[in-house]
Structure 1
Amino acid sequence: MKRQQILDLYQWSPGVCFRHQHKGEVPTAVIKVIHPRGRERELRACEECVIAIEDARREMAARNGEPYEPGHVDGAAR
């Protein structure tokens, strides 16, 4: 699957990437919801990070002999 096809699997909105705060507000996708001290916060990732996470998921699935389906970085079914 090509890069843009993978990115199209996610909902994008302006936000700050958890790894690249220095970029400021850029298109981001929610990759996890955390609950520090009872508050709900979205952990967001930029396009570069979503692709890197998807690459790592694909490689792990291949090593474990498991199927890989892109679009599930957040663990939610699409």
Structure 2
Amino acid sequence: MDSQQILDLYTWKPGTCFQHPDAGVVETTVVQELHTRLGPVEGIRACTSCILAMEARRRGLAAEAGVAYEPGHAGAPL
């Protein structure tokens, strides 16, 4: 899959990337949920470049482990 096909697997909304907060509001997707004791569930959001980096890392880990790589699950365990 090419980069755009991988990005198309996610739902994008304006938000702040957890790795690049200084970039301000950009297109992001939720990669994890933070469950706080008293407040509502908050999504941890990542930008397109972070998603592609996370997917590349997952692809490498899958190859090392000898398991199938399935894109579209950045932030989830392998």
Match of 1:22 in 2: 22
Aligned identity (percent) is 48
- Number of equivalent positions: 75
Structure 2 CA distance for aligned equivalents of residues 21 and 74 of structure 1: 18
Match of 2:51 in 1: 50
The unaligned stretches of length 5 or more in structure 1 are none
Structure 2 CA distance for aligned equivalents of residues 74 and 9 of structure 1: 14
Q: RMSD in angstroms over aligned alpha carbons? A: 1.0
Match of 1:37 in 2: 37
- TM score, norm. by length of structure 1: 0.91
The unaligned stretches of length 5 or more in structure 2 are none
Task: State the 4+ residue runs in structure 1 displaced beyond 6 angstroms.
Answer: none
Match of 2:60 in 1: 59
Structure 1 CA distance for aligned equivalents of residues 45 and 54 of structure 2: 12
- 1:41 is displaced (CA, Å) by 0.7
Structure 2 CA distance for aligned equivalents of residues 64 and 38 of structure 1: 38
Match of 1:69 in 2: 70
Of the structure 1 ranges 47-56 and 30-39, higher mean CA displacement relative to structure 2 is found in: 30-39
- TM score, norm. by length of structure 2: 0.91
